[in-house]
Structure 1
Amino acid sequence: MITTTEEPAFLIRSYGKGELAALYLPHLHPRSALASFNDWIGRFPGLGTALQQAGLAANARRYTPAQVKLIVGALGEP
């Protein structure tokens, strides 16, 4: 019998901001991961604007599935 250790596919769903940041940057402290992740979003051309157009508010605590799809489209899967 052959066994594989495939990682489960990344699901496009609603994620908490810190939760998604930790998936991209698991080696960092959660606050550092979120700060770095926000920096990535700000530096990727057009991503911040696209997220705002998709309804992301400055005080939002979660990304919607549509926003997660934009992030993954820009940054790739975590």
Structure 2
Amino acid sequence: MIKTAEEFKIRAYTKVELACLYNPHMTIPGALRTLARWIAGNSQLTAELSVLEYNHRNRIYTPRQVKVIVDHLGEP
């Protein structure tokens, strides 16, 4: 069987990497804004990320933060 896309792995991702995985056809700034809006618009996701010491100024998501994001938004 031929795989056309790699399987998504829970690991540390930079904001740019994760945003571009969720929005591959957007520019980097557009993908970052869109992901930030999705996170900010989901109060339950925001609450869970705050417990994990998420700060919107951080440039890297930890594996635990990525898992929470994927749990709420689905796999990219």
Q: TM-score of the superposition, structure 2-length normalised?
A: 0.91
Query: Does 2:28 align with 1:36?
Result: no
What secondary structure sits across from 1:47 in the alignment? helix
Q: Which moved more, 1:8-17 or 1:51-60?
A: 51-60
Match of 1:76 in 2: 74
Identity %: 41
Unaligned runs of at least 5 residues, structure 1? none
> How far apart in 2 are the matches of 1:31 and 1:69?
23
Q: How many residues align structurally?
A: 76
> How far apart in 2 are the matches of 1:69 and 1:6?
23
Q: Tell me by how many angstroms 1:74 deviates.
A: 0.3
Q: Tell me by how many angstroms 1:8 deviates.
A: 2.0
Q: TM-score of the superposition, structure 1-length normalised?
A: 0.89
Which is higher, the Rg of structure 1 or of structure 2? Answer: 1
**Over 6 Å off, 4+ runs:** none
What secondary structure sits across from 1:55 in the alignment? coil
What secondary structure sits across from 1:57 in the alignment? coil
